Amino acid sequence: MGILNVTPDSFSDGGQFVTLADAINHAEQMIAEGTDIIDIGGESTRPGGGVVPAEEESARVVPVIEALVRLTDVPISIDTTKSLVARAALDAGASIVNDISGLRFDFHIADEVAKSGAGIVLMHSRGTPATMHRLPPVADIMADVARTLTRSITLAEGRGIKREAIVLDPGIGFGKNPEQNMELIARLDELKVDLPGFPFLIGTSRKSFIGKTLAQNGESTIPAEGRLYGSIATIAVAVFNGADIVRAHDVKATVDAVRMVDAIRAQTK
Question: Which are the catalytic amino acids?
Answer: 207, 247
Closest C-alpha among 261, 267, 227 to residue 244: 261
Would you say 228 and 15 are in contact if contact means Cβ atoms under 8 Å apart? no
Task: List Cβ neighbours of 237 (8 Å cut-off, separation of 6 or more).
Answer: 185, 186
The C-alpha atoms of residue 250 and residue 3 are separated, in whole angstroms, by 8
CA-based nearest residue to 120, from 146, 150, 147, 152: 152
**What Rg do the C-alpha atoms of the chain give, in angstroms?**
17
Q: Measured at the alpha carbon of residue 66, what is the angle toward residues 60 and 72, in degrees to the nearest 5?
A: 125
